[in-house]
Amino acid sequence: MHAVKHERSIVPFAAAVLVMISLFSVATAGERVDRCRGSSISFSGAPVESYLDEDGDGKYEYLVLSVNITVYRPGSYGLYGTVEKTAVANTDPSPLGLGDHTLELRFSGADLTLIEKEGRFSIHLEIFSRDIGIEPEMLDSMTAGSLSPDLFEAPSTGQLTQVSIMGQDVVIKSSVIEVRVNRTTPRMSFSYSGEAAERSRATVTYERIVAFNDMDGDGVWNEGADELRYSAPLYDLDWRLGTDFSKGYGISLYGVVPLRMAGTSTAAAYAKVTFSFRSTGISPDGDMHKFDIEVELMQSLDAEYLSIVHKVADETGDLAIGVGGSMGGNPHSVTLSSGEDIFGIYSWNDDLAVGREELSGNATAVTSTVIGEGVAHVIFSYPLDNGTLRIYHDPNVGMDPENIPTPSGGEDFLRDRPLILVIGVVLGGGLVATTIIWRYMGRKGSRGSVERGEGGG
């Protein structure tokens, strides 16, 4: 009888427990549903690793991560990642619909060789979007297996360079030159790599695009003349960064420019302007980087020329701006010098590729350069003959490897100031001679005192 009562008392207790578990499960499931509804996108499991050995030599040129994601809100999404905060890779945002997707990141072996550890590498991933109101999602994990930087090597292209993101800049660095491309404005800087960077940096800022009729026949826009047809500032735009690290690197900054007719505030035409750096543009010695300027007009303009107005400026306060100098075979250049030594050079030629739907023809640019104090104002003017809608131009930035300043600056300081060196030698020699004479006189006086003391005894 007692056993029956005990059994009956357990039944309500068990039922209560089951009800509580059911309610908890429903609440938890509801919480997961609400969380998914509140998110636009999420990671689905750990990334899957693979390794590419393109030349079959037993070392990997790339670490490839296949990242599974789930989209709850259709939109434009991209993926950014780092390995040990050293190797960087990302994909451009692209339209993704509801459901599961796989995005791929390729980390260059050139960057992975710089990791100073062995074992499991840390991975940081971010899903980002250019759509308004979509917050990024982040995931931190570790590689599945134990790795060593010795397992990797640089790809066959871009092996002289490292690419990283520092604040607002994408940094391209070789053994000689460092180029920083701003991610939100058409502005870049170039300098020596390493300790000499701050003593050699210059900037190139693209300020304005104009279309004009050449009233005086010089091929160059003259601001004071009645030549202007369309214009637009380049700094006040929604610039976007595109990257491709699938092989080497490709970095593009692009924006759509509303061209306003002279004297009005209404956009009458549009142009897409793109500045691009690719690993194929770095010189074999790592001292020069070619980049591309591409303009794509979305309709024909009632104008004879299209110009890009920009400036090259010294950022150190110590370098002289000039013209001339040669690097890469280009006939035109702006130089930055310390004394007689040319540090940096921004150079270009007159050759253009042009066309309507495709770049199918050639044309000649007209350029002008005006030197000011610490700055050079440069205008590239592109002819709009035969209904040209597309223009391609390829300037260079470079640093002279023969003139890299020493870290301390001491050797250059004395070499450039021989009079100070001579004065130093003379003063040093005089000090040594004075010391010798003083010691000689002191010893002579001591011997005289001893002799006098002996005579008095």
pLDDT at 63 over 60: yes
Average pLDDT over residues 321-327: 80
Coil vs helix vs strand at 55: coil
Query: Nearest Cα to 81, choosing from 115, 147, 150, 127?
Result: 127
What are the pLDDT digits (tens) for 387-438?
Answer: 899 999 999 999 999 999 886 544 444 444 555 545 655 566 666 566 666 6
Query: Nearest Cα to 207, choosing from 185, 224, 229, 238?
Result: 185
Burial of 17 (0-12, 13-18, 19+ CB in 10 A): exposed
A 10 A CB-CB count for 404 gives 19
Of residues 208 and 26, which shows the higher confidence score?
Answer: 208
The number of angstroms, rounded, from the C-alpha of 153 to the middle of its chain's C-alpha atoms is 22
Q: Which residues contact 302 (CB under 8 A, 6 or more apart)?
A: 229
Coil vs helix vs strand at 46: coil
326 band by pLDDT with thresholds 50, 70 and 90: low
Q: What mean pLDDT is reported for the chain?
A: 82
Average pLDDT over residues 104-114: 87
What are the extents of the domains in the chain? 1-38, 41-151, 182-405, 413-444
Query: Nearest Cα to 236, choosing from 297, 190, 186?
Result: 186
Query: Nearest Cα to 376, choosing from 451, 443, 311, 285?
Result: 311
Average pLDDT over residues 336-359: 93
The amino acid at residue 29 is A
Question: Is the domain defined by 41-151 classed in CATH 3.30.420.10?
Answer: no
pLDDT at 46 over 60: yes
User: What are the beta bridge partners of residue 238?
Assistant: none
pLDDT at 23 over 50: no
What are the pLDDT digits (tens) for 261-285?
Answer: 998 988 999 999 999 998 888 887 8
pLDDT, residue 299, reads 93
pLDDT at 14 over 80: no
Burial 161-174 (b: 16+ CB within 10 A, else e): bbbbeeeebbbbbb
Q: How far is CA 118 from CA 105, 108, 151, 283, in A?
A: 21, 17, 10, 32
The whole-angstrom separation of Cα 104 and Cα 369 is: 45
Average pLDDT over residues 81-104: 85
What are the pLDDT digits (tens) for 392-405?
Answer: 999 999 999 999 98
The whole-angstrom separation of Cα 110 and Cα 108 is: 5
Q: Which residues contact 206 (CB under 8 A, 6 or more apart)?
A: 186, 187, 234, 275, 308, 309, 310
The whole-angstrom separation of Cα 456 and Cα 328 is: 89
> In the chain, what's the furthest Cα-to-Cα distance?
137
Average pLDDT over residues 145-153: 92
Between 1.10.8, 2.70.98, 3.30.70, 2.60.120, what CATH number should domain 182-405 receive? 2.70.98
CB 91 within 8 A of CB 66: no
222 band by pLDDT with thresholds 50, 70 and 90: confident
The whole-angstrom separation of Cα 24 and Cα 28 is: 6
